[in-house]
A and B are shown apart, each in its own frame.
Chain A
């Protein structure tokens, strides 16, 4: 379909200012897809409404509160709170309000359960930081109003459920008092607050729930101290562990008298187990302790007599208690057994009797069960049925009912760490193309419908048929490589340590794989995934190999813990191999070389500044040795404000001979004065970016040469005072400095200061320009600046005669060590919105003009032509400049609603935008991820090299038929005329 001849012609047409990206409403979903997620569920509350659709309200680790349909798992409504607004607790009040406590217990909000509209918001202050509790008692009435009891920041509040008014509050100001539980005994107007003070003191306060009056305060001291959490076994008994983790303390405070009993764990279990921790649960009479290998369930009988009811070495998850009748509580227990999970529902007072026992087949790739939430319903025969909501290790959410998975949500995709792409398999003989266009008649009918649509002759049913036909076009979701390169696999790594492959056509999950190397193990305590790299991209001579990706992870949060590499096949989703490294991974440098099997060479820098080469093959080593002196890299030390350049020195001089380990040396360093500058952003060009031409023809037939170097680094620093939030600094004491640094020589090519400006800085580097976004405090608006850098040493090559006579310097080698003669041009503009992310479109050959993709604070992605950020813009461009496409200079950058690539959608919690070139030069693929995912195709200069989706083949056919008919008619006429001529 590519019609190259139209190329220049259309390019010329597309240079008008009108928005290039624009969409008709009926085109939504043709090339784009949008998926909504919520993140790993922390807490779930089932709505007990009798009428209407069943809902479950959840809060997640992505700070989302959402109301889900219990039947299908769809989102009714959802709100994403701010990044610092971590949700501490949720509950449902009066059956129709969702109450959330967030921001360390300082913000209490109420939401309307049916539609998610916020009803009220209150801010709760307190004297000091503490644990926070949200309790919604059902029986505590106060003038027809239900009370909410909130303990936060060392203060107990009673709040009206209807309007959020604080009815009374009570401070717990004792310096060392640490609250552990807030208890509302049912059927009384009392609140019990229990906690520890001064490490070894147990304190109990009894408070009147009507007015906040302190009724009683008791304390008792325990010489052995406490450790960890306490578990509430009844409304008047708690269980705690002493500071050694080997003695259980059962403390009861019946009628305000504290009595206690100590039971060493070794009395309950014969073999010694080492220190234990209490797993908090709300099941009355039962609590659990966990040591390294064993989980033990203990029942409390009477006043402090303990009895072991079960000991298990399986991974186990317990739900909170669910009251099913006046005096009965049920809870769910999930145990793992190879490929199945066993769900049991028990009554709290009867451990041995099971209300329900089910086994459910579980996909291995979901890992362990992390959380269980139980809910009951009444079956038609009046008995109780139970359903459980489980949260898995990969952050997915599943609903189990009657031994089956009713629905599942892949909420791991809400927390993507890194993204890369992979090609699909090449079409082979086995896969038939003909199946798509199975019937010529059908095909023609479809196009006739389309034609009717364009001629506005279609009836509403026809329109619906057209729309569904376009949306399900099976072409776009095929599992083979296409000619235009639109179909690819997006490989994403999530925070849960799971890899997903998403099809770009419709966003479905092709495969998913929970990385085994990211499982907790002896050697690796808290593994975290870091990055994804393309490890093997077969083309040319290694066509039969499957492509694979490299997952780099490390064993702990600090950068000096040892690293782990895993290699995953992107066609099958199987782990090919994994390597536990004996060194740390501080930096990964993908080198632009591949070995004989198309494996990409990677250099890993460890904490001791040794460089390690991967893959560890002799072929790779010989390639590497050839390029040994051409490898440079840099490192940024944020704390000290130092940027250093490095190169390789020699083989490692350690005691163990390792061919693949190299010593490094420092080449240069740039030290920013710490009292006046603090680095806040560093950006380089994308490694795989293609630049079509170095020359840029400007208006008067003049040529400028872009300074194109892969080794340019953009650094932004701000005054240390101005590194905080907006509003914390005055314009006089804040400034922002932008640098362009050559990373091979450490030479600063350009430096510019923006006075009265501050971060955060979002920047993107492409070709010879960098665009950055920052805040201007003087104007109190956001600004975007562009710096373009041009090579002056080639400026004399314009003379044709020099080129003819060979007196040009085009063939002279370019070395970064020679001092480059560069000039820079820059310009600044106002921009309305805050940004969350910035990216630039990239195409296969780099011919197509570029667009900036701005992820705005409203979670939308705006496409802005690079021509709006051209330092050569002037207020009154000359005729020549206008012809070249220079837009008259305006104070601020335009926001054209039609150029939002996300149109009327939001990519909630937007974190990153990734652009990938398609094979078709005009088109680039855009993937935006946050809590939501969004994918679309963009053509920054319109699709000049292919026919659009709307192209009507039927119209073409009809035209041809009409032309042929016309030829025959004219032929007849011409024949008759000729005959008459001859008769004359």
Chain B
């Protein structure tokens, strides 16, 4: 994933504490959502306006909901100690939920892990695992796709029969051929022209 390298860099650079205690048994969780600008955006045909302002951060399945500041930071206030789950909802991106331990014993200690791949985070910086593409991409028209379709195959088969069969007939033994033709003539195999109404006039 392209997201991994910038993520690691960021972890090393930032050192601000993620948790700060407010009162005895309520804590704040502070974190940041980073959506890399270059993550495959060039290949997509659509862009959603105001992406950052439509991102939501949800704690414990919607118990608390918060939004991002322009720089991507978010915070939850008055959270009791325990193990919590943070989810990020952003149209167009897939974020892994994050397990966050808020410890009562040593406040300020960071413990966060992505639940999808069990990767630990030393800093609460959330990045999308991948982009989500909601639409199928229309294949450009090509002869091959037409040929591969059931109709194309049927037409191909018919053509093969129409053009290859006479070739097979040519390779037959001339005597046998003549006998077969005799037989056909005696039985009077109807030709295409005799089948159609115009054929009767000849």
Contact = CB atoms under 8 A, between A and B. Distances in A.
Interface of A: 22-26, 28, 77, 79-85, 106-107, 109, 112, 115-121, 123, 125, 454-456, 725-728, 760, 775, 777, 779-782, 832-834, 836, 857-860, 892, 895, 897-898, 900, 903-904, 906, 970-971, 974-975, 978-979
A904 B48 contact: yes
A934 B68 CA distance: 26
Nearest to B113: A780
B23 A125 contact: yes
A855 to B, nearest CB: 12
Contacts of A24: 135-138
A24 B135 CA distance: 5
- B85, B94, B137 pick with most chain A CB within 10 angstroms: B85
Given A24-B135, A125-B23, A726-B84, A81 B65 contact: yes
B174 interface: no
B77 interface: yes
A191 B42 CA distance: 55
B202 interface: yes
Interface stretch (B7-15, B54-62, B119-127, B165-173): B54-62
Contacts of B85: 726-727, 775, 780, 834
A979 B202 contact: yes
5 contacts: A80-B65, A106-B78, A118-B53, A832-B115, A858-B91
A481 B176 CA distance: 66
A727 B82 contact: yes
A978 B192 CA distance: 10
Given A85-B65, A858-B89, A974 B80 contact: no
B140 interface: yes
Contacts of B137: 24
Given A123-B75, A728-B82, A898-B136, 20 more contacts: A23-B135, A24-B135, A25-B45, A79-B67, A85-B65, A106-B78, A115-B50, A116-B53, A117-B70, A119-B69, A121-B69, A123-B28, A725-B63, A726-B61, A726-B85, A832-B115, A834-B87, A858-B91, A900-B132, A904-B134
B91 A727 contact: no
B91 A120 contact: no
A857 B58 contact: yes
B65 A975 contact: no
Contact of A726 (B60, B90, B138): B60
A727 B63 CA distance: 11
B199 interface: yes
A971 B28 contact: no
Nearest to B45: A25
- B46, B67, B84, B92 pick with most chain A CB within 10 angstroms: B67
Contacts of B193: 971, 974-975, 978
B140 A456 contact: yes
B63 A117 contact: no
A971 B193 CA distance: 5
A900 B82 contact: no
Overall SS of chain B's interface: loop
B64 interface: yes
Contact of A971 (B53, B66, B80, B196): B196
Nearest to B118: A779
A703 to B, nearest CB: 33
Contacts of B25: none
Contacts of A727: 60, 80, 82-85, 102
A374 B141 CA distance: 58
B133 to A, nearest CB: 5
Interface string B178-202: 0000000000000111101011001
Contacts of A106: 77-78
A123 B78 contact: yes
A978 B191 contact: yes
A857 B61 contact: yes
Nearest to A903: B134
Contacts of B46: 25, 904
Contact of B62 (A82, A112, A121, A780): A82
Given A115-B50, A119-B69, A727-B60, A898 B78 contact: no
Contacts of B110: none
Contacts of B132: 897, 900
A895 B61 CA distance: 18
- Sorting the interface of chain B by its residue count into under 10, 10 to 19, 20 to 34 or 35 or more gives 35 or more
Contacts of A119: 69-70
Interface string B150-179: 000000000000000000000000000000
A115 B99 CA distance: 31
Nearest to B196: A971
A836 B62 contact: yes
A834 B62 contact: yes
A864 to B, nearest CB: 15
Contact of B60 (A115, A725, A897, A979): A725
Contacts of B94: 895, 897
Nearest to B50: A115
Given A81-B65, A85-B65, A120-B69, A897 B133 contact: yes
Contacts of A112: 53
A79 B52 CA distance: 12
B31 interface: no
B87 A857 contact: yes
B141 A454 contact: yes
A3 B145 CA distance: 24
B96 interface: yes
B28 A832 contact: no
A20 to B, nearest CB: 12
B68 to A, nearest CB: 7
Contacts of A118: 53, 67-70
Nearest to B136: A22
A898 B77 contact: no
A834 B69 contact: no
A59 to B, nearest CB: 15
A572 to B, nearest CB: 40
A124 to B, nearest CB: 9
What are the 7 tightest A-B residue pairs by CB atom distance, in nearest-first order?
A858-B89, A123-B77, A897-B132, A82-B65, A834-B61, A727-B82, A456-B141
B53 A117 contact: yes
Given A116-B53, A455-B141, A727-B60, A121 B83 contact: no
Contacts of B82: 727-728
Contacts of A970: 192
B13 to A, nearest CB: 24
Contacts of A898: 133-136
A968 B85 CA distance: 73
Contacts of A777: 83
A500 B75 CA distance: 40
Contacts of A726: 60-61, 63, 83-85
Contact of B192 (A22, A82, A974): A974
Contacts of B65: 80-82, 85
A125 B91 contact: no
Contacts of B97: 781-782, 832-834
Contacts of A780: 83, 85, 99, 115
- B45, B52, B89, B116 pick with most chain A CB within 10 angstroms: B89
A978 B67 contact: no
Contacts of A116: 50, 53
B134 to A, nearest CB: 4
A63 B202 CA distance: 87
A897 B48 CA distance: 16
Contacts of B192: 970-971, 974
Contacts of A897: 94, 132-134
A115 B138 CA distance: 33
A678 B45 CA distance: 50
